Structure 1
Amino acid sequence: MLALRIARVFDGRAVVEGAGVVFVDGGRIVGVEPSWFGIPTGVEVLDRPSGTLLPGLVDAHVHLVGDGAPGALERPGALSQDDLFSTIERSLRIQLAAGVTTVRDLGDVAWSVVDWRARRPRPDLPTVVASGPPLTSRAGYRRHMDGGASGSDELRAAVRERAERGADVVKIMAGGGMPSTPGSAVDQGRFTAEELALVVRRAHAVGLPVTAHAHALVSIRDAIAAGVDGIEHCTFLASDSVHVPEEAIAALAAQGIVVCPTLGHAPGAGPAPQLKERMYEAGPDHDALRRRVVRAHLAGVTIVSGTDGGIGPDTPHGGLPRAVMDLVSGGMAAADALASATSVAARACGLGDRKGRVRTGYDADLVVVDGDPFTDMAALARLDVTVLGGQVLSSRS
């Protein structure tokens, strides 16, 4: 048994008043006790008198086949399976070094992440929730990732394949992206509202949620009408600016659609130059995006933290602490920002019954940071202790 004695405990929703000792045994949390609680003889103790204990972080949007170099998602199709698996494991180690103990991979190449998970289980690496290749139109954004489909029959078959291969979620590219694939403008939709609704119905029938990549306002509206479970990016790009209709925000909140705005760009980075230009009239800086996300949160929209990690130099793996800090910079309360990367993200990933909380019976995926993120959110980047499945993987002496 292990006991972690710390200054404060954030349980995934709030600071637990008076809690100061967390017990771990057999890969599970077996007790959350007050600071004065006696620790039995023979129990291993990690003392962190100034530390804050949190659930292991959850990055709700990554691409493990991407190595963070320019063109990271264009190259994997030419790699061998061994090389792909090595990239996936390297990406996961970087995530773990940032305190991330669970990731949701929202787009691999040729099923590489799903296959890696089945063939090379690694208890010393983060838990992986996976979509397989993103479902794209034949001429759409990221079509090279082997997820192209056209027409009702192919869309039905694509959903069925994802269920049969063991995917956890269907990722559909409802619109274009940045940089744009030729013929796939970022402010235009790639599937009709009817096609999106068909994918949602078929996925829900086999127990899979659907999350839609959507920068464009038209794609966001179609995704809402289709009843998707989540929207990635959700930038609200119109033809010449950003337009955020109140009725769209109200619908996102009312339908419980989870939005992952993919913040956490590398220091000094921001939106891609083309995207920044399109956003100019609504506010060209990253601060404007953060504030829009927080306004949506205050209107009742569920926000989870994810980074798009791995797709390029602006979005390397391991950036989740920055994504949480971005939310706080935009005006979100610290507890809500931390929840977006713990309990709320775990629930969005289908793991809310065992991850993302510090409570008895949950998986012992835990991190201790040096300091108090409620007074200094930069403490989230000062990782001190990482516990994965009850095993202490790293800790300062």
Structure 2
Amino acid sequence: MNSFALHAGSLFDGFTASGPATVYITGDRIVRVDRTGALPSDGSSVIDLGSRSCLLPGLIDSHTHLAFDAGPDPVTSLAATDDTDLLTHMRAAARSALHAGITTIRDLGDRDYLSLALVEELAQHPEQGPEILTSGPPLTTRGGHGHFFGGEVEGPEALRAAVRERHRRGCAVVKIMASGGNLTPGSVPPHASQYSFEDLRAVVDEAHRLGLPVAAHAHGLQAINDALRAGVDSLEHVSFLTPDGVGSDPALLDAIVESGSFVSLTLGWDRRVAVELPKAIAAHLEEILTVFRDLHKLGAKIVIGSDAGIAPDKPHNVLPHGVGDLARLGVPPLDALISVTGMAARLCRMEGRKGQITAGADADLLAVNGNPSQDPAALLDVRAVFRAGVRVR
């Protein structure tokens, strides 16, 4: 079994930043963390990453779509691609994420459960991609947002049956489109709800009975409120849209914080590409960002889900840009880092195994030049990536 040590000029362990450190790895696990800065004296093989390096846990992207090609019309491209070619594309997308230091992802929408095939492949060859937690096709109404994935279902009993099917197939999370969205022609607008509170509650009750978390796509104010009352585990997007704009309800913000539900902010744009936001978002962007700031100030459990794949400015390696985006909202860079490591691991129910540098955790690690706990741009200057103890970059 391969054993070695990594020595770095600084360490971010998923929650706190510190000085020089040496991390010992055996096989695919971290076995010891030495924060004294001393190099091994027992003859261990050492990779010295340099005095300017920072070692941190592999990043966790809480909301991606491997099936989308990050092109100008990902929905049309998806429809024109057969399953064999789509799976080839998904492999490449996963590899792109990994090489950016993203070692775990939640895929919140695929076609025909193809991501489960990728999960099986990567279980045998983890060095070829991130660990994937998949929802399979999202639950949506007939002709609703994301219906092209194949998850159309309506009525409490049918929704419960759909949850059971995802559990049987081995999905790690249930995704439901509580509101409309921006990518689906002919569906309801993003501010409008697709399911009733009773529908959402049926999904949550059945999923929780089976031990599965529920992620709710929720742009609209009413959908956010209903999903929160239903007890979902994460609220995706949380744009607070209404027919007239953005409805920032202070009581609802407080309820989100008190509920313990995670808030998945779909940030992250590669600004080397022209950023084109959906009209419903662009028209009210500053108001939406103000709500995001308020949620952080109130103490919400914030993670970043990049929504990678949905547009040219959202490639599958875009998550590190999202950390900078969150920091630009006034969130301390350290908190922004926590949102894609230690906090994201809690959302994914992987605390102690992912998102932390601690004894017993997976040896999924990222080394960058600079100090990302002060300057998130350092995340873009990758020095090394390790997945399950194997160096992949």
- Aligned equivalents of 1:83 and 1:61: distance in 2? 22
Of residues 153, 157, 165, the one that matches 1:153 is 157
- Aligned equivalents of 2:21 and 2:118: distance in 1? 38
Q: CA deviation at 1:176?
A: 0.4
- Aligned equivalents of 1:113 and 1:258: distance in 2? 23
Aligned residues: 386
- Aligned equivalents of 2:81 and 2:176: distance in 1? 24
Deviations 1:326-368 (A, max 9, x none): 1111111111110100111111112113010000110000011
- Which residue pairs with 1:272 in the alignment? 278
- Which residue pairs with 2:33 in the alignment? 32
> After the TM superposition, which of the residue ranges 349-358 and 267-276 deviates more from structure 2?
267-276
Of residues 101, 104, 118, the one that matches 1:102 is 104
- Which residue pairs with 1:21 in the alignment? 22
- Which residue pairs with 2:359 in the alignment? 360
Q: Which amino acid aligns with 2:118?
A: W
TM-score scaled to structure 1, two decimals?
0.93
Q: CA deviation at 1:375?
A: 3.1
Q: Is the 8 A contact 1:365 1:388 kept in 2?
A: yes
Task: List gaps (5 residues or longer) in structure 2.
Answer: none
Q: Which amino acid aligns with 2:379?
A: L
- Map 1:97-176 → 2, pairs under 5 A: 97-118=99-120, 121=123, 122-124=125-127, 125-176=129-180
TM-score scaled to structure 2, two decimals?
0.94
Q: CA deviation at 1:144?
A: 1.3
Q: Which amino acid aligns with 1:346?
A: A
- Aligned equivalents of 2:277 and 2:54: distance in 1? 32
- Map 1:105-254 → 2, pairs under 5 A: 105-118=107-120, 121=123, 122-124=125-127, 125-254=129-258
Does residue 1:41 correspond to 2:43, yes or no? yes
Q: CA deviation at 1:19?
A: 4.4
- Aligned equivalents of 1:29 and 1:98: distance in 2? 21
> After the TM superposition, which of the residue ranges 46-55 and 363-372 deviates more from structure 2?
46-55
Deviations 1:262-295 (A, max 9, x none): 0012214152134312x2xxxx45xx54443132
Question: CA 1:79–1:165 in 2, change beyond 3 Å: closer, same or farther?
Answer: same
Q: CA deviation at 1:372?
A: 1.1
- Map 1:364-375 → 2, pairs under 5 A: 364-375=363-374
Q: CA RMSD in A?
A: 1.6
Q: Is the 8 A contact 1:9 1:19 kept in 2?
A: yes
Deviant stretches of 4+, over 6 Å: none
Does residue 1:73 correspond to 2:75, yes or no? yes
Q: Secondary structure at the match of 2:17?
A: coil
